[in-house]
Amino acid sequence: MKQFTIAEKISCTGIGLHSGAPVHLSLHPARANSGIVFVRTDGGREVEIPARPDWLSSTNFATSLGRGASTVGTVEHLLAALYGLGVDNVRIEVDGPEVPIMDGSSASFVFLLRLAGLFEQQAERRVFRVRRPIEIRDGERWIRVEPSRSFRVSYDVDYPHPAIQKQSIQDLEIDAGTFEREICRARTFGFLREVEGLWKAGLARGGSLDNTVVMDDQRILNREGVRWSDEFVRHKVLDLLGDLALLGTRVQGHIRVNRGGHALHQQLVAALAENSVSSVSGSLSRLTRFPETASAAG
């Protein structure tokens, strides 16, 4: 398959989920093989931050990228939209510390990308074909990738909350159609009891019932409820796709996850990137183990 960029510039405004800061975001077409690059434009000079594993700065409650003192946080929902629709190359200009949260899902970004249109480029798309399994474990948490003829995801979550409990998606083949129908509208979520701690840590300042599914100890507080009965595991799949976008290649394999989060996702990304090669196809052949670090509920 060929690489894709967007056909024309498209922009939006919003606020950051954790910073609460207003932000303007612009997506620009980019040359083939340039990848996805974030650009901070608000510091008096432009700072380019490639969406690649080497520039990962944090997986604490979101996926953040950084270059020196310049960072861009909560990039995963936009990256999921790009990965889900098959956009390989784009320049993302942002004038604040976070990508705007919009409604807490990827739906607004999918709308913007469809509005801009996709442009097929001449360069061949790189594909990482998984030849042998790899598994990363941390207690009951684990993530595994194994060979498959297409890109598939299986994901399980288990939260001790009446609104979530055990939810599962099994053997979902991901393409642009299934991403738009089944995944992109799933929103981020969190628990009311954690809000005070997040505020003390300087996080979740832009969070609200307009962009987060919020739960107290017994129920969902959003008046409209959930978009699917299993919206929580669907959002985990969305986060996984956004984190996989940092590879800069498409994955041909079946990824299975149990009780995952951004940190676990990025450990797999690091293992895949380490085994990647510069040719069109790569293969994976070794077992890797990493400790899990903190990650957000949604």
The answer to whether 157 touches 150, Cβ cutoff 8 Å, is: no
CA distance 87 to 106: 14
Please name the residues in contact with 260: beta carbons below 8 A apart, sequence gap of 6 or more.
Answer: 141, 143, 155, 157, 236, 240, 295
CA distance 85 to 57: 25
Nearest to 265, CA basis, from 230, 249, 241: 241
Residues annotated catalytic, as ranges:
262
CA distance 35 to 291: 29
Please name the residues in contact with 264: beta carbons below 8 A apart, sequence gap of 6 or more.
Answer: 136, 138, 141, 142, 143, 257, 292, 295
CA distance 40 to 47: 5
Q: What single string gives the DSSP state of each residue in 158-176?
A: EESSTTTEEEEEEEEEP-H
Please give the span between the terminal C-alpha atoms of the chain, in angstroms, as a whole number.
33
Q: Sort strands 254-258 and 152-159 into parallel, antiparallel or unpaired.
A: parallel
